[in-house]
Structure 1
Amino acid sequence: MTVMSDLIERGGIPEGYKVEVFDGRVIMTPQSPEQHWTVRDVEGAVAAAGIARERVFGDVLVTFPGENDAAPDLTIIGFDAERRKNSYSCIDVLAVVEVPSEPEDEKDYVRNVQKYGRYGIDFYLIADPFKKLVTLMSEPYASGYGRILEIPYGESVSLTLATGERVKIDTSTFPTRDA
């Protein structure tokens, strides 16, 4: 059992907080309104694409063999993903969305890029309320992503999942935040 799964099983995560373990440290961050609203907007776009709610979730544990597990702000999984108690394996993840809780968040911009790429997650999208910018990464490889697109808030972002489902996200409603 991992530290994260133990916290989840014991109900040790206070409401409104996100808890992750990085380099042996437990990091507990309150969710900002901007994070919440952005995730809701993306969830709406995913629902509009016809992706079933059972395949989309936020702040749910995703396990990474031999590494720290994660609870992304939003995760889209494949049709045949297998639930393991309150978690899913990274091999079932098609796309991840993160909304940084602080400017230049090393976790989102460095560690997660490396981890999600290494484990073959097809799309990693960072919606940054500080930069007012969406960074969409695709073509995963051993230490990151081969293709990186930066799209200013206000423009649409589109991605086609491995399942053939196409998600178009309107970023004009994404909230912004001063650093």
Structure 2
Amino acid sequence: MSVMSDLIERGAVPEGYKVEVFDGRVIMTPQSPEQDWTVSDVKDAVKAAGIARERVFGDVLITFPGENDAAPDLTIIGFDAERRKNSYSCVDVLAVVEVPSEPEDEKDYVRNVRKYGRFGIDVYMIADPFKQAVTLMSEPHAAGYGRVLEIPYGEPVSFTLATGERVKVDTSTFPVRDAQEG
């Protein structure tokens, strides 16, 4: 059992906090209102695309064999994903959305890019309230992603899942944050 799984099983994660393990350290971060609102807007877009709520969730443990597990801000899984207690395997993940909690967040922009790409997660979207832009990545490979688009807030963002389902996200309602607040 991983440290993350143990914390979740014991109910040791305080409400409103996100817990992740990186390089052997447990990191607890409170979620900002901007993170919550952005994730909510993306969930609405996913729901509008006809994707069942059972395939979409936030802050749920995703296991990565031989690596630190993660609890992305938003995860979309495949039709046949197999639940393992309170987690899913990364092989079942079709897309991940992260909202950085601080400007130029290394976890989201470097470590997660490498990990999600290496494990073949088809779509990785970073909705950054500090940059006021979405970074949309696809074509995963061993070192990250082959295709990276940066789209300013206010423009629509679209992506197609491996299942053929197409999601269109209106970013005009995404909240912004001053980098000095990070």
TM-score per shorter chain, which class?
A: over 0.9
- How far, CA to CA, are the matches of 1:124 and 1:167 in structure 2? 13
The alpha carbon displacement at 1:154 in A equals 0.1
- How far, CA to CA, are the matches of 1:144 and 1:108 in structure 2? 12
- How far, CA to CA, are the matches of 2:7 and 2:39 in structure 1? 23
Q: Aligned Cα RMSD in Å?
A: 0.2
Tell me what 1:61 maps to: 61
Tell me what 1:135 maps to: 135
1:82 maps to amino acid? E
The alpha carbon displacement at 1:113 in A equals 0.1
- How far, CA to CA, are the matches of 2:123 and 2:166 in structure 1? 12
1:14 maps to amino acid? P
2:88 maps to amino acid? Y
- How far, CA to CA, are the matches of 2:76 and 2:123 in structure 1? 10
2:51 maps to amino acid? I
- How far, CA to CA, are the matches of 2:164 and 2:147 in structure 1? 19
5+ residue gaps, structure 2, are: none
- How far, CA to CA, are the matches of 2:9 and 2:116 in structure 1? 25
2:74 maps to amino acid? L
- How far, CA to CA, are the matches of 2:64 and 2:151 in structure 1? 29
Tell me what 2:30 maps to: 30
Aligned length: 179
1:13 aligned counterpart, secondary structure:
coil
2:146 aligned counterpart, secondary structure:
strand
Tell me what 1:108 maps to: 108
Q: How does 1:45-56 map to 2 (within 5 A)?
A: 45-56=45-56
The alpha carbon displacement at 1:12 in A equals 0.5
The alpha carbon displacement at 1:135 in A equals 0.1
The alpha carbon displacement at 1:54 in A equals 0.1
1:148 aligned counterpart, secondary structure:
strand
The reply to whether residue 160 of structure 1 matches residue 160 of structure 2 is yes
Tell me what 2:170 maps to: 170
1:35 aligned counterpart, secondary structure:
helix
Tell me what 2:150 maps to: 150
The alpha carbon displacement at 1:173 in A equals 0.2
Tell me what 1:43 maps to: 43
- How far, CA to CA, are the matches of 2:137 and 2:166 in structure 1? 16
Aligned residues: percent identity?
87
2:154 aligned counterpart, secondary structure:
coil
5+ residue gaps, structure 1, are: none
The alpha carbon displacement at 1:5 in A equals 0.3
- How far, CA to CA, are the matches of 1:112 and 1:163 in structure 2? 23
- How far, CA to CA, are the matches of 1:162 and 1:98 in structure 2? 19
1:113 maps to amino acid? V
- How far, CA to CA, are the matches of 1:150 and 1:131 in structure 2? 10
